Structure 1
Amino acid sequence: MTQTIRQTGPGSEPALGIPVPAPVVRLRGALASLGGRPVLRGVDLTVAPGEVVALLGANGSGKSTTVKTVIGAVPLSGGDLELFGTPRGRFRQWHRVGYVPQRTTAAGGVPATVREVVSTGRLAQHRMRPFRRVDRAAVDRALEAVGMLDRAGDGVGDLSGGQQQRVLIARALVGSPELLIMDEPMAGVDLASQQVLADTLRREVERGAAVLLVLHELGPLEPLIDRAVVLRDGCVAHDGPPPPGAGQHALPGHDHVHPHADARSGARQGLLS
């Protein structure tokens, strides 16, 4: 689905009549509860094709619940959700979406090799057909992208936490998704794996994928972030350039000055004043 928008100023938007793709995610007025407790209280969120959006906020602000509503793991009690211009209830093209959950045991407690875990990410493509050469090649490419091809035959239970996170990322990448959703991919991950993640995401963005990330701190991902959506108590408190000192310091009204902030962050300081 596409939409046509009108140019409002020189170079500010595409010219009148030129169709542009619909957002890959459009969440409007999202309401959701967990255990009878309201968690989302009218969240609006859009992610455009090729855009990298970070969800920031304190623990319990609704970040993970927001992405879980997008993938359907938490039902909406109110509001609307569209994926690639299609209402959520009619969306069936899940091969276009890759999801990396919060860090957990990659095999879910079931003995499995690295290759077997990553291969499950191709299920949406071959729809229960036998694995083909193209599927095996896609698994190899995904493992190579995260630096785990040499461990393909190893059991995931023998891997470190950072290595298991790489396996989960490879599983999400193996289908070449147009939308990649990652829930706190940096949590508890060593610096080497953080850099692998940053490099991997950079390649995915260059390929044209949109990325929605739940983060506490931007870290090495900061150069990739186009927009930050800060949640507070289940509501959007900020939607725009990433504020300096992401995470707890990103909440509007926080006036702590980071003397080490780079020029890009310094330009955003006014967002918090």
Structure 2
Amino acid sequence: MGSPQDSDPAIAADPAIALRDAHAVLGAREVLRGVDLTVRRGETVALLGANGSGKSTTIRAVLGQVPLTDGTLELFGTPFRRFRDWKRLGYVPQRSTAAAGVPATVREVVSSGRLARRKLRPLGSADKDAVERSLELVGMADRAKDPVDALSGGQHQRVLIARALAGEPELLIMDEPLAGVDLASQQVLARTLREQVGKGSSVLLVLHELGPLAPLIDRAVVLRDGRVERVENPDQLHDLACHPHGDEPAPGAETAPKIETGSLT
């Protein structure tokens, strides 16, 4: 699918994420070993690879949760150390309970997604409208008054997505949003992302397999041992989709050509 940057050089020069030669250490182990990653405006990029390949660490590095030991990171053209405009980002973490054990309704959890915009001020009419739109978008408006601990796993994930969308982010980052989620919720997620991308949002996803999100993805970046192994059009990734945990393709299976680590953009 095309993206706005195809026709606007100014947008192409100012990507949502520009990660260059990123190195990061967890404990005593170097987890990222020179990752390059660009997410342009209006583009959807999937990070794929085996368990332990560095996908979630890359996401956490972009969010500043894991410090880089080497390399550079820019968000919307601003060096990370100077970036303060966090309301432009929305984050959906790996599968977890939406309220983390704190009694709360669905609407209360989703409303917390407006905090980056409102700070400690009460929600105004625009905030409430954004919350209601997000609930409608993920199909949870009819459960808005329900406690989140009464929800299924797939519904929890929808609430986390609605919370991120309530902030009206320009960049949406999601870590394994399909993990353990039923097919109906996967299809809701695909529809939701299609609408967000249609509005010009950029999306970075960690996935084990493309599933119903495949038609939305512009580029798939395959990580292996903390490095970029290849960058592909999703149509060329039938082999990885069949072997999401790093299994080797069957003998004689066609493999897509590798792309050099430094050639992401």
**Aligned-partner Cα distance in 2 for 1:163–1:177:** 21
Tell me the CA shift for residue 177 of structure 1: 0.7
What pairs with 1:143-182 in structure 2 (closer than 5 Å)? Answer: 143-182=135-174
Please state whether the residue corresponding to 2:133 is helix, strand or coil: helix
- Which residue is equivalent to 1:87? 79
- Which residue is equivalent to 2:67? 75
- Residue type of the alignment partner of 2:148: V
What pairs with 1:1-273 in structure 2 (closer than 5 Å)? Answer: 19-20=10-11, 21-242=13-234, 243-247=237-241, 249=243, 254-256=248-250, 270-271=256-257
- Residue type of the alignment partner of 2:238: P
- Give % identity: 63
Preserved contact between residue 209 and residue 244 of structure 2 (Cα < 8 Å): no
Greater mean alpha carbon deviation, residues 114-123 or residues 238-247: 238-247
Could you give the per-residue CA deviations for residues 127-178 of structure 1, whole angstroms, max 9, x where no partner exists? Answer: 2111111111110000000000110111100000000000000000001111
**Aligned-partner Cα distance in 2 for 1:89–1:167:** 31
Tell me the CA shift for residue 246 of structure 1: 3.2
**Aligned-partner Cα distance in 1 for 2:206–2:198:** 20
Please state whether the residue corresponding to 2:34 is helix, strand or coil: strand
Could you give the per-residue CA deviations for residues 216-243 of structure 1, whole angstroms, max 9, x where no partner exists? Answer: 0000000011001100000000113132
Tell me the CA shift for residue 245 of structure 1: 3.4
Q: Structure 1 residue runs of 4+, over 2 Å off?
A: 18-21, 245-257, 268-272
**Aligned-partner Cα distance in 2 for 1:162–1:19:** 39
Tell me the CA shift for residue 244 of structure 1: 1.5
Tell me the CA shift for residue 250 of structure 1: 6.6
- Residue type of the alignment partner of 1:19: A
**Aligned-partner Cα distance in 2 for 1:49–1:253:** 33
Q: In the comparison of the two structures, how many residue pairs are matched?
A: 250
Could you give the per-residue CA deviations for residues 92-151 of structure 1, whole angstroms, max 9, x where no partner exists? Answer: 111000000001010011111111111111011112111111111110000000000110
Cα distance, 1:241–1:253 mapped onto 2, change above 3 Å: farther
**Aligned-partner Cα distance in 1 for 2:247–2:189:** 31
**Aligned-partner Cα distance in 1 for 2:188–2:198:** 15
**Aligned-partner Cα distance in 2 for 1:29–1:42:** 4
Tell me the CA shift for residue 81 of structure 1: 0.2
- Residue type of the alignment partner of 1:249: H
Cα distance, 1:162–1:90 mapped onto 2, change above 3 Å: same
Preserved contact between residue 49 and residue 222 of structure 2 (Cα < 8 Å): yes
Tell me the CA shift for residue 198 of structure 1: 0.3
Greater mean alpha carbon deviation, residues 210-219 or residues 245-254: 245-254
Q: Gaps spanning 5+ residues in structure 2: where?
A: 1-5, 259-265
- Residue type of the alignment partner of 1:194: Q
- Residue type of the alignment partner of 1:244: H
Preserved contact between residue 244 and residue 250 of structure 1 (Cα < 8 Å): no
- Residue type of the alignment partner of 1:80: T
Preserved contact between residue 43 and residue 203 of structure 2 (Cα < 8 Å): yes
**Aligned-partner Cα distance in 2 for 1:166–1:251:** 25
> Based on CA coordinates, which of the two structures has the bigger radius of gyration?
1
Preserved contact between residue 239 and residue 249 of structure 2 (Cα < 8 Å): no
Please state whether the residue corresponding to 2:163 is helix, strand or coil: helix
